[in-house]
Amino acid sequence: MLPSPLRNHIQTHFHTEITASNAVGGGDINQAARIDLSNGQTIFAKWHASPPPGMFAAEAFGLELLAQARALRVPQVYFHTENYLVMTWLGRGAAPTRAVDLRLGEGLAQQHRFSAERYGLPRDNFCGLTPQRNTPTENWVTFFGTHRLGAQMELASRRGHLPTERAKRLERLIARLGDFLPAHPPVSLLHGDLWGGNRLVTAAGEPALIDPAVYFGDREADLAFTELFGGFSVAFYEAYRASWALEAGYHTRKHIYNLYHLLNHLNLFGESYGRQVDAVLKKYT
């Protein structure tokens, strides 16, 4: 099942033979496999026949940046090309326990304290298959309005997902974004795509993060997305807040932050997400 170039690259890189490969599910973009090597090592590979240019390079950069925060376990990148990415295999442990979720909450707060001078990132990347602009910006409202909501609005218009009423409400929200969001919240390293499918428990029982869409921004954007589709326990939120309390008004701002992901899902998967987008827009406009 492994593409021949990937198989050859692995065997050359590790100076060993592949003894087994088993498909790994869970994603809807790439194919992936756990690969056993004759030297006893187990690795993980993901590949795509025709990915957006730079997608795997951007993911590798994101994983390496998260590793620099020394907060939560992430896969180590061995190598990548335009068509594949090879990393450590973290294993699959049991369902998360309270202790694991407490560690995840503490670790995410620690990751969010890893900072930078401006919002954004020195390079663009992807959220799913959607290009994500990360132009470094001094003002968070400007960044989120332009490079998150504005970018998704442009894409929705091109793809026919922006009827007149939706467009008008989105324009009004972007124009009034400063009424709801802080201009200069702490600059935090965000995972960027933190839904339940992108956290796991390793074979050693540690919490880990995968498939990032990293950038520096308001930490509340990460936390908001954990709530959108669920999958995170009360213990996780308790541990995060104990490590770094949230500012007043989070429960108002979180829906605006999640609007970015709802618009992205609208653009990726169609009008089934339109009702949720419209509900948020009506709430704030």
Nearest alpha carbon to residue 162 among 255, 277, 259, 282:
277
> Is residue 193 annotated as a catalytic residue, yes or no?
yes
3-class SS shares of the chain: helix, strand, coil, % to 5:
45, 20, 35
Distance (Å, rounded) from C-alpha 43 to C-alpha 28? 20
Distance (Å, rounded) from C-alpha 173 to C-alpha 283? 10
φ/ψ of 147, rounded to 5, equals: -95, -5
Write the DSSP assignment of 202-261 as a string of letters. Answer: -TTS-EEE-S---EEE-HHHHHHHHHHS----HHHHHHHHHHSPPPTTHHHHHHHHHHHH
Catalytic residue, chosen from 101, 179, 193, 218, is 193
Give me 40's structure tokens: 């006893």
Ranges assigned E (strand) in the chain = 18-23, 31-37, 42-47, 77-80, 84-88, 125-127, 130-132, 188-190, 199-201, 207-209, 215-217
Q: Which amino acid is at 273?
A: Y
Dihedral angle over CA of 227, 228, 231, 235, nearest 10: 0
- Catalytic residue set: 193
